Amino acid sequence: MTMATMPDTDEEGYLIEPQDWNEEVAEQLARQESIQLGADHWDAIRFMREYYAEHQVAPDARHVMKHLAERLGPDSRNALFELFPYGYVKQACKIAGMKRPRGWSTG
Residue 100: predicted pLDDT? 79
Q: Is 33 exposed, middle or buried (0-12, 13-18, 19+ CB in 10 A)?
A: middle
Residue 93 contacts residue 48 (beta carbons within 8 Å): yes
What are the structural domains, with CATH classification, of the chain? 8-95 (1.10.10.370)
- Walk along the chain (107 residues) and give the pLDDT tens digit of each residue: 444 478 999 999 999 998 999 999 999 999 999 999 999 999 999 999 999 999 988 999 999 999 999 999 988 878 999 999 999 999 999 999 998 777 654 44
Interatomic CA distance for residues 105 and 93, integer angstroms: 12
Q: Which of 34, 47, 11 is nearest to 84 (CA)?
A: 34
Q: Could you give the angle at the alpha carbon of 37 between the alpha carbons of 36 and 42, nearest 5°?
A: 170
pTM above 0.85, yes or no: yes
